[in-house]
Structure 1
Amino acid sequence: MANIVQFENVGLRYGSSPETLSDLSFALRAGAFYFVTGTSGAGKTSLLRLLYLAQRPSRGVIRLFGEDAVTLPRGRLPGFRRRIGVVFQDFRLLPHLTAYENIALPLRLAGHDEGELDEAVREMLAWVGLSNRADARPATLSGGEQQRIAIARAVINRPEMLVADEPTGNVDPEMADRLLHLFDSLNKLGTTVVVATHDLHLLGRVPDAQMMRIEKGRLIDPTGNLRHPPAEAGR
């Protein structure tokens, strides 16, 4: 499998503060499943922000889909971002829209016609087991239901890569298992999946998944030592 992501000596700092991420060098294989682990404040969210192009690094090279993402012209960013689905810990559903409308939003923004859109949204609602909640607004949905709607919205464009930030942090263990099953089934269809989590109990639920551990902004190998670049992760 080809690399879908390549980091080379990447560092990230906010303003004049010390680096949040330092000397990250790794590769992610297309079609693989990765867990990013680490304690709160270790740098997991900052790493994900680099992956879904919400943040540019302070130094180093990031190649995404075979292209240099650091020097990518702003005009090409929207097209790149449509190739990446993002699931946020706080869901970020629009409160004035129904579940159906939240899921449909990426397709509407991309200019799809309503007939094509309706079939895709209904399919996503069925996939996450919420066909009967299409007209519900976020405030009337449970935390697990909101997260499943957020996942459906993230993948309706059939992204090549899905990035999820602590997706099970606000749900009970049973719902966490259900959400992880959705990610695993999406991965089996060929999508590269990257899940940041501090819940180590999740790691054994996806047998083929790789683990990337971050401590104080640096990648740590399974022995507890710093990973030496170039480090490549894959199945």
Structure 2
Amino acid sequence: MRPGAANIVQFENVGLRYGSGAETLSDLSFGLEAGAFYFLTGPSGAGKSSLLRLIYLAQRPSRGLIRMFGEDVVTLPRGRMPGFRRRIGTVFQDFRLIPHLSAYENIALPLRVNGVTEADIDTPVREMLEWVGLSGRAYAKPATLSGGEQQRVAIARAVIGRPEILVADEPTGNVDPEMAGRLLYLFEALNKLGTTILVATHDLHLIPRVHHAQTITLDKGRLVTPMAGAH
């Protein structure tokens, strides 16, 4: 951890169980440093997506403590959840685009939710469309976009509001290597502006491309690599 840097996320002895089965995640204790870049790796079924669900507040843990932005989110009142979620950008494997909205409108949505005026929406949305190579598809509906195009819209939507944390689940899984490099560069640019980045990936070739990144590895729901901020 850099001197003076604080953890924006802190897990302490966290476990997650779905129903009455065995724990999906067990005894996770680690911290994510504010402004750092992380890759989350591990074999299929290791628990990567479940860990991301805890961080973007789609799931509460079965046990343990999770602190985000300095507050205990396990006991956070339901009414405060939307405000917390607006501070977190998410890129899902299934994209979760709104089908009746165009690519432009999907990307603009976080800005509208945050109360940005219409006059201040157009320029950043068009810059995002250009960056992800979709300027010519601005008014296309998701059903007419390829999987890779939908993925790029989802990423543009996640980063346009400059979230404090960006959580991405296999964000380069549906794009070619050149576009994967561009998207990784976009994540790095966002990281330089201060956003903490956590990218779950099975593509280990991506990791050396971000020289300052740290790697978290899960196996069978447990942390394999020692992490800064762990107890």
Partner of 2:104: 100
2:46 to 34, 42, 49: 42
Question: Post-superposition shift, 1:199?
Answer: 1.1
1:123-162 to structure 2, matched below 5 A, reads 123-162=127-166
**What do residues 6-61 of structure 1 show as CA deviations (whole Å, max 9, x unaligned)?**
00000000111110000000011111100000111100000000011000000001
Q: Does 1:12 align with 2:16?
A: yes
Identity %: 76
Deviations 1:181-218 (A, max 9, x none): 21112112211100001111111111110000000000
Match status 1:29 vs 2:25: no
Q: Are 2:162 and 2:190, in contact at CA under 8 Å, matched by a contact in 1? A: no
Structure 1 residue 180, shift from structure 2 partner: 1.3
SS of residue matched to 1:55: coil
* Segment of structure 1 superposing worse, 195-204 or 19-28: 195-204
What amino acid sits opposite 1:154 in the alignment? A
Are positions 1:232 and 2:228 aligned together? yes
Indicate conservation of the 8 Å contact 1:165/1:195, yes or no: yes
Answer with 129-138 or 25-34: which moved more. 129-138
SS of aligned partner of 1:41: coil
> How far apart are the structure 2 equivalents of 1:182 and 1:144?
16
Q: Following TM superposition, by how much is the alpha carbon of 1:143 offset from its aligned partner in structure 2, in angstroms?
A: 2.8
| Structure 2 length-normalised TM | 0.92
Deviation string 1:67-116 (CA, Å, 9 cap, x unpaired) is 11111111110000000000011211122211101111222233433222
Per the alignment, residue 176 of structure 1 pairs with: 180
TM-score (norm 1): 0.90
Give the C-alpha shift of residue 179 in structure 1: 1.7
Q: Is the counterpart of residue 89 in structure 1 residue 93 in structure 2?
A: yes
Aligned equivalents of 1:120, 1:171: Cα separation in 2: 23
Residue 56 (structure 1) aligns with: 60
Q: Distance in 2 between matches of 1:152 and 1:45?
A: 20
| Partner residue in 2 for 1:118 | 122
Structure 2 counterparts to residues 213-232 of structure 1, below 5 A? 213-221=217-225, 227=226, 231-232=227-228
Find the residue that maps to 2:179 and give its secondary structure: helix
Question: Displacement of 1:233 after TM fit?
Answer: 5.5
> Does the 8 Å CA contact 1:89/1:170 hold for their aligned counterparts?
no
The structure 1 segments of at least 4 consecutive aligned residues displaced by more than 4 Å after TM superposition are: none
Residue identity in the other structure for 2:187: F
Which one-letter code corresponds to 2:199 in the other structure? V
**Stretch deviating more after TM superposition (182-191 or 208-217):** 182-191
CA separation in 1, counterparts of 2:129 and 2:197?
20
Matched AA of 1:185:
A
Instruction: Give the unaligned 5+ runs of structure 1.
Output: 222-226
Moved more, 177-186 or 114-123: 114-123
Once residues 184 and 72 of structure 1 are traced to their aligned partners in structure 2, the CA distance between those partners, rounded to angstroms, is 31
Alignment of 1:62-73 (within 5 A): 62-73=66-77
1:195 corresponds to 2:199: yes
